[in-house]
């Protein structure tokens, strides 16, 4: 176990963790503002991956450029889902919000999975974008495709941070997350804020799916696995923490990558579950507390 091998595993963990973090940010945003737990978030990510695959296959659009297609497309899907399924849920009390949203989104997960399998079969699809090779830094190989994906994930998080900090919509989101009743009394259209927040969360899932399509295969079944990773990351970070969710994703990716030296690659997935349980027991509010943006 040489230092260069450890450094290579850390780099790999950061690349994977960037995907975890970006996949979790939309879920964290929606729950932090609306107290709605959308377990179909992984299926929205899967649809974003398919949007990128078909854009590349049919129109030869670069998968990294296709985030401007997958993101808005899934945001529109999010608008429809909120209006059709979740708009009445946000009017319930917090306990019933979580329970009802779980039931609705679990059913939605099954519907989307089966529709995707009906439309595109269960075969794995991949995008061969041609980003072969990489750069070597101090003996650590950094593939171009993974570097670009991680850089774009950082840019998306920074853009989201600026949106939430510097725009009227962002202030409305933060005020609603803090106290929706006070926000309503201050003149904020809370229902509209919920609608746009859900759409934004779905759009972020679409962007995450687009970036995933470069390094991972796309299939109707991937949504559940990525939803579980996103949920672990959200718990690690603390509900509603945007930068915290991304940092927690990086942490989980590095922890999984380094665990191969201790418990072997076969049990790498156990690391996330162990961290999940430890944080729930020792720090239920998460590693980064609750802070939107």
Task: Say if residues 275 and 236 touch (Cβ distance below 8 Å).
Answer: yes
Is residue 288 situated within a structural domain? no
In the predicted model, what is the mean pLDDT of residues 218-225?
93
Is the pLDDT score of 287 beyond 90?
no
Is residue 287 situated within a structural domain? no
Predicted local confidence at residue 80, as pLDDT: 95
Is residue 143 within a helix (H) or strand (E), and if so which, with residue range?
Answer: strand 140-143
Tens of pLDDT, residue by residue over 39-49, are 999 999 999 99
Using a pLDDT cut of 70, give the percent of the chain over it. Answer: 97
Predicted local confidence at residue 290, as pLDDT: 56
Task: Say if residues 27 and 41 touch (Cβ distance below 8 Å).
Answer: yes
The mean of the pLDDT values for the chain is 89
* Burial zone of 200 (CB within 10 Å; 0-12 exposed, 13-18 middle, 19+ buried): buried
Helix axes 3-34, 190-215, angle to 10 degrees: 160
Predicted local confidence at residue 155, as pLDDT: 95
| Token reading at 212 | 């995933």
CB atoms within 10 A of CB 85: 17
Query: What is the rounded distance in angstroms from the CA atom of residue 235 to the CA atom of residue 279?
Result: 7
Quote the number of domains for the chain: 1
Q: What is the widest separation between alpha-carbon atoms in the chain?
A: 61
Lowest mean pLDDT among 157-166, 188-197, 274-283: 274-283
Predicted local confidence at residue 293, as pLDDT: 55
CB atoms within 10 A of CB 224: 16
Non-local (6+) Cβ contacts of 71 within 8 A are 48, 203, 204, 206, 207, 210
C-alpha count within 13 angstroms, C-beta hemisphere, residue 59 = 10
Is the pLDDT score of 163 beyond 60?
yes
The pTM of the full predicted model, rounded to 2 decimals, is 0.92
Predicted local confidence at residue 240, as pLDDT: 64
Bridge-based pairing of strands 140-143 and 134-137 is antiparallel
Query: What is the rounded distance in angstroms from the CA atom of residue 23 to the CA atom of residue 41?
Result: 9
| Token reading at 72 | 């808005």
List the CATH number of the domain containing 272. 1.10.3470
In the predicted model, what is the mean pLDDT of residues 145-157?
93
Is residue 233 situated within a structural domain? yes
Is residue 272 situated within a structural domain? yes
Tens of pLDDT, residue by residue over 234-250, are 988 886 677 888 999 99
In the predicted model, what is the mean pLDDT of residues 189-205?
95
| Token reading at 265 | 């690659």
In the predicted model, what is the mean pLDDT of residues 95-103?
88
Is residue 292 situated within a structural domain? no
Instruction: Provide the residue range defining the domain that includes 211.
Output: 3-282
Task: Say if residues 185 and 53 touch (Cβ distance below 8 Å).
Answer: no
Q: Give exposure, 235-269, as e/b (b: 16+ Cβ within 10 Å).
A: bbbbbbbbbbbbbbbbbbbbbbbbbbeeeeeeebe
Is residue 245 within a helix (H) or strand (E), and if so which, with residue range?
Answer: helix 242-259
User: The tokens 């759009």 sit on which residue?
Assistant: 203
Is residue 274 situated within a structural domain? yes
Query: What is the rounded distance in angstroms from the CA atom of residue 82 to the CA atom of residue 196?
Result: 9
Is residue 69 situated within a structural domain? yes
Is residue 268 situated within a structural domain? yes
Predicted local confidence at residue 289, as pLDDT: 62
In the predicted model, what is the mean pLDDT of residues 244-257?
91
Tens of pLDDT, residue by residue over 4-39, are 888 889 999 999 999 999 999 999 999 989 988 999
């Amino acid at each position: 176990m040489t230092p260069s091998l450890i450094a290579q595993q850390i780099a790999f963990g950061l690349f994977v963790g960037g995907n975890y973090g970006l996949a979790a940010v939309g879920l964290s945003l929606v729950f932090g503002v609306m107290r709605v737990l959308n377990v179909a978030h992984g299926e929205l990510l899967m649809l974003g991956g398919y949007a990128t695959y078909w854009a590349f296959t049919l129109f030869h659009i670069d998968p990294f450029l296709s985030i401007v297609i997958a993101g808005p497309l899934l945001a529109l899907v999010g608008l429809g889902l909120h209006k059709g399924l979740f708009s009445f849920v946000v009017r319930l009390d917090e306990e019933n919000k979580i329970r009802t949203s779980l039931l609705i989104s679990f059913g939605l997960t099954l519907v989307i999975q089966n529709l995707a399998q009906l439309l595109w079969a269960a075969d794995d699809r991949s995008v061969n974008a041609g980003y072969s090779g990489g750069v070597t830094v101090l003996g650590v190989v950094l593939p171009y495709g993974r570097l670009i994906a991680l850089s774009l994930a950082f840019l998306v998080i920074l853009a989201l941070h600026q949106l939430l900090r510097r725009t009227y919509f962002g202030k409305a989101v933060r005020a609603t997350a803090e106290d929706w009743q006070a926000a309503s009394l201050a003149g904020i259209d809370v229902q509209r804020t919920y609608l746009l927040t859900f759409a934004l969360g779905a759009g972020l899932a679409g962007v995450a799916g687009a970036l995933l399509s470069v390094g991972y295969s796309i299939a109707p079944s991937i949504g559940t696995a990525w939803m579980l990773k996103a949920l672990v990351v959200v718990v690690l970070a603390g509900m509603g923490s945007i930068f915290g969710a991304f940092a927690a994703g990086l942490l989980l990716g590095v922890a999984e990558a380094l665990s191969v030296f201790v418990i072997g690659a076969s049990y790498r997935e156990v690391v996330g579950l162990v961290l999940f349980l430890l944080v729930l027991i020792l720090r239920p509010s998460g590693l980064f507390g609750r802070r939107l943006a």
